[in-house]
Each structure stands twice: as C-alpha cells, then as structure tokens.
C-alpha cells in the first residue's frame, strides 16, 4: 500500500536502474511496491534542493537526492518539480548534453528540439524515463503512480514543505563539494539554442471531460511543455467543406482575448457574481466591459460575430488581486456574411435578432454586452424581471434602463437601431482612450449622439 504522501515510484526497468535503487546513498528512498524494489518519491522526504517546488533531483553529484554512478550521467542530470500554479509534475532535463529522455508505455510526447527541456509527467503519460547517452547502457525507470490524478493533485496541494532535512547518522552524511549544489527551480534550464522567433505548435495531453453539448465537447488538458492547464473545445465537423471553413475561422481568430484552445479559467462572470460577488464590484465590472470590448473589436475587425455574449460565456481568472476576463464559447459564432439565423440566448438578443430576415452584424454583440452589464449590476432587479418578459416588453425596458446614471456612460451600446449603436472600437476610444484597439484608430468613426 502506498504511503499517503507518495507521488510516484521509480521502478527499475534494467540492471543499471536496479543498481541505483540499491545504491547506499539512496537508501532513504528505498521501498517495495508490488514486491519489487523501488525508490519512493514521497513529499514528506525533503529534497536537498533549495527550491520548495523541487520534489527530487537525480545525478552523479553527491548533492543530489538520488545518486547515479557513471561518467555518462551529469552531476545534475534531471529533477522532478511542481508547477506552483497548476500543481502538475514537470521533468526538467538539466544534463549538460541533453541526455534525459521520456517515452511511455502508453501515451507520451518527447522533449522537442528547440524548446526548453521541460515536460509534464503524470499517470499514464510520459511514464518512462531514460538517463544516459545510449539505450543499451542507460538508466531506465518507469514512473508508477499509485494514486489517481485527483488524489495526486490533492497530495501536492496539501503538501507542507519541511524546513528540516531528514536525520542522518554521521556516516551517512553526504559530502557537499560546493559547485555541485542543486540550483533553484527555473534558474538553469538546459536547452538547444535556436532563433527565438520560431513558433512552436501547442502540444497538450487530455486529462478529463469538462462539458459536452450540441456544439462540441470541452475537456481539461495540460500544455505538456509548460504545465499550464487548458480548456480545449472540440468542434464537430458537419458536412463537406466544414473542415476547411472551421480551419479558416480558427486561423483568423487568434487573439489573447479570443481563443478556441484557452487557459483553463476559474469560472464565468455568471458564477462570479452569483456565488460570491467581488468586493470591488464596480472596478471588476469595468474590467469585464473593457476586456470583452477588446475581444469583440478584434472579432468585428475580422468580420466575425460571436452571437452569444452573456455572463456565462465571459470567463475569468485571477492574477493576484486582478481579474482577467476572456470571451469564450464560440459554438454560435459566424462570419458576418453568414449571420442570419436566430440564435443565442433570448434575454441578451439584440432587437434586430427578432426581425426575420435582418442581417446580423457585430452590433448584436454590443447590445448583448450591455445587457450583460445590466445583469451584473442587477439594475432594478434585472435578473429576475428580464426572465419574465417577452421581447416586445424587454427591449423598451432595456432602452429605458440605459438612462440610469450607473450605465449612462455606455448607453450608446443600447440603441435599438444597429447602424446607430456604438461599435466596440468606438467604446474603447470613448471610455478607454483606445487602449486595446485592434481596429486602426484612423478607421474609428466619431460616436454620434443618439436620436
């Protein structure tokens, strides 16, 4: 049975790895698992590294946690470290000549030439590690994870880093020769030096499903090269030509505020304000509007309409005390020349959406964002009242609410005529001096007074 704080076992796959397991300097980690001798990588056994995120270090140097004899092994060969944000375990190749390699009994992705030699390891992914120059003479381990991914994450989250080293008898104390001291995480990352301008494709490993619907499946994934978590939406391809259309749209819509494959966020505006509204609600609302306008301006500049802007589709994450918002869920988005069908969420639908045959434009998204602001403020009990109203009553009421002092500054977003309604670019210029514009400033027309 695994120790409660065991992350994984290093199971020897060849004789040389078995020698490492039995090495006198490594006896503090020696254990058995399934009646086999292994090294127990346990969070209660502190690393010699001065980094609290380092789980264990391996190398020829006596200052490493696991000592491996042999001139083909660097003094500091590699380390297993925890990403402080996502709690994923990362393997860092710190060898001089890049002689740490990963593969897998199942799914795996190797280090990629040109990238920093850091990669995710987890249950059933990248579970074989080879140390050394040649396959025939290398040290080869399998990482055996006794717990589920959820349990492993909980162990890491709840870890308490001890400031005291494990007790050793005098004859067991390792010699520290000075230069071999293990460096803090992130200080030295061995990599192949290539031009910095090269762009690498995103590589990710699928973890588990998050949601499934008519417009595809969203699943949790991890960027294998950074350890950052992602939400990946898999869109079904329907009919001939759909693949090329989807490919063109994804290639066109690349922006830090608009992503198909995006960082895993903490929640939505809907969940944020329903569960535990932030103390600085007005400041947060300003960020919601500014960030979303930037995304909508980018989409409009590239002739796209989102068509379902609402609190549930504006996602957030926190960076310290700052909220960052991103527009998500593009299941209904269309190019302007294709936008004619009535879709979206009725409460947030612009007046022109209800007119049969009306051509939809990015102006519809601006109306929806204004309604989102009303929902966040819950102006005149908007949330409960709006659900009970048909479009004939809802639209005039929204127009009337636009005169309230709390939203007067953005009232141009609530004009019923889409040709008179403010654009995202105009609002960015009027309220944020153009900060975050995609549309060239010279192409932003002055905002005219409403009729």
Mind listing the pLDDT tens digit for each residue in 156-167? 888 754 433 333
Write b or e for each residue in 279-316: b if 16 or more Cβ atoms lie within 10 A of its Cβ, otherwise e. Answer: eeeeebbebbbbbbbbbbbbbbbbebbbbbbbbbbbbb
pLDDT surpasses 60 at 62? yes
Q: Which of 191-200, 263-272, 307-316 has the highest mean pLDDT?
A: 307-316
Tokens read off for 142: 């399998």
Angle at 270 between CA 268 and CA 271, to 5 degrees: 70
Give the DSSP letter of residue 332.
Answer: T
Rounded to whole angstroms, the maximal C-alpha distance in the chain is 89
Residues 6+ apart with CB under 8 A from 137: 16, 72
Angle between helices 363-377 and 391-401 (to 10 degrees): 70
Give the C-alpha separation, 69 to 19, whole Å: 9
338 secondary structure, DSSP code = G
Q: What confidence tens digit (pLDDT) does each residue in 263-281 have? A: 667 788 999 998 878 888 9
Over the chain, what is the mean pLDDT?
83
pLDDT (average), residues 181-198 = 41
Of residues 217 and 373, more confidence is placed in: 373
Region of poorest pLDDT, from 52-56, 207-211, 409-413 = 207-211
Mean pLDDT of 213-229: 81
CA atoms of 214 and 226, how far apart (whole Å): 31
For the ranges 16-30, 180-194, 365-379, which has the lowest average pLDDT? 180-194
Which domains are assigned to the chain?
6-157 (2.60.200.20), 202-264 (3.30.200.20), 265-443 (1.10.510.10)
Residue for token digits 């103390």?
279
Q: What is the mean pLDDT of residues 357-364?
A: 85
pTM of the predicted model as reported, rounded to 2 decimal places: 0.61
Report whether pLDDT(242) > 70. no
CB burial class (10 A; 0-12, 13-18, 19+) of residue 203? middle
Highest mean pLDDT among 211-220, 277-286, 332-341, 409-418: 409-418
Rounded to whole angstroms, the Cα distance separating 112 from 204 reads 13
DSSP output for 414-449: G-SSTTTSPPHHHHHHHHHTTTT--S-GGG-PPPPP
């Amino acid at each position: 049975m695994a120790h409660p704080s065991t992350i994984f076992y290093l199971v020897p796959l060849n004789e040389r790895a078995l020698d490492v397991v039995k090495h006198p300097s490594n006896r503090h980690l020696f254990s058995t698992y399934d009646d086999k001798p292994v090294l127990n990588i346990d969070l209660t056994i502190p690393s010699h590294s001065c980094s609290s995120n380092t789980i264990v270090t391996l190398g020829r140097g006596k200052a490493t946690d696991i000592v491996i004899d042999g001139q083909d092994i660097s003094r500091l060969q590699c380390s297993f470290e925890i990403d402080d944000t996502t709690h994923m375990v990362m393997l860092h190749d710190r060898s001089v000549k890049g002689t740490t390699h990963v593969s897998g009994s199942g799914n795996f992705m190797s280090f990629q030439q040109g990238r920093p030699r850091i990669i995710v390891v987890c249950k059933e992914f990248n579970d074989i590690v080879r140390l050394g120059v040649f396959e025939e003479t290398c040290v080869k381990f399998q990482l055996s994870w006794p717990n589920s991914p959820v349990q492993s994450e909980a162990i890491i989250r709840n870890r308490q880093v001890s400031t005291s080293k494990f007790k050793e008898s005098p004859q067991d104390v390792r010699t520290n020769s000075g230069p071999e001291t293990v460096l803090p995480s992130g200080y030295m990352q061995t990599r192949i030096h290539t031009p910095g301008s090269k762009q690498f494709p995103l590589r990710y490993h699928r973890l588990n499903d998050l949601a499934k619907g008519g417009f595809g499946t969203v699943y949790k994934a991890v960027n294998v090269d950074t350890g950052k978590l992602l939400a990946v939406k898999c869109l079904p391809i329907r009919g001939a030509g759909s693949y090329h259309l989807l490919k063109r749209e994804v290639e066109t819509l690349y922006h830090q505020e608009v992503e198909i494959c995006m960082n895993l966020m903490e929640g939505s505006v809907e969940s944020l304000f329903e569960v535990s509204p932030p103390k600085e609600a007005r400041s947060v609302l300003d960020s919601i509007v500014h960030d979303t306008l930037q995304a909508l301006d980018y989409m409009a500049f590239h002739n796209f309409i989102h068509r379902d802007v609402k609190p549930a589709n504006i996602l957030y994450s926190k960076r310290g005390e700052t909220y960052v918002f991103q527009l998500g869920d593009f299941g209904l988005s269309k190019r302007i020349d294709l936008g004619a069908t009535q879709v979206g969420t009725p409460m947030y639908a612009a007046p022109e959406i209800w007119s049969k045959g009306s051509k939809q434009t990015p102006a519809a998204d601006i109306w929806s964002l204004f309604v989102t602001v009303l929902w966040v403020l819950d102006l005149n009990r908007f949330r409960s009242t709006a659900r009970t109203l048909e479009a004939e009553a809802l639209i005039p009421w929204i127009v009337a609410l636009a005169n309230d002092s709390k939203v007067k500054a953005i009232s141009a977003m609530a004009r019923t005529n889409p040709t008179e309604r403010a654009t995202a670019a105009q609002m960015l210029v009027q309220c944020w001096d153009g900060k975050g514009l995609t549309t060239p400033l010279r192409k932003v027309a002055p905002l005219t007074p409403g009729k």
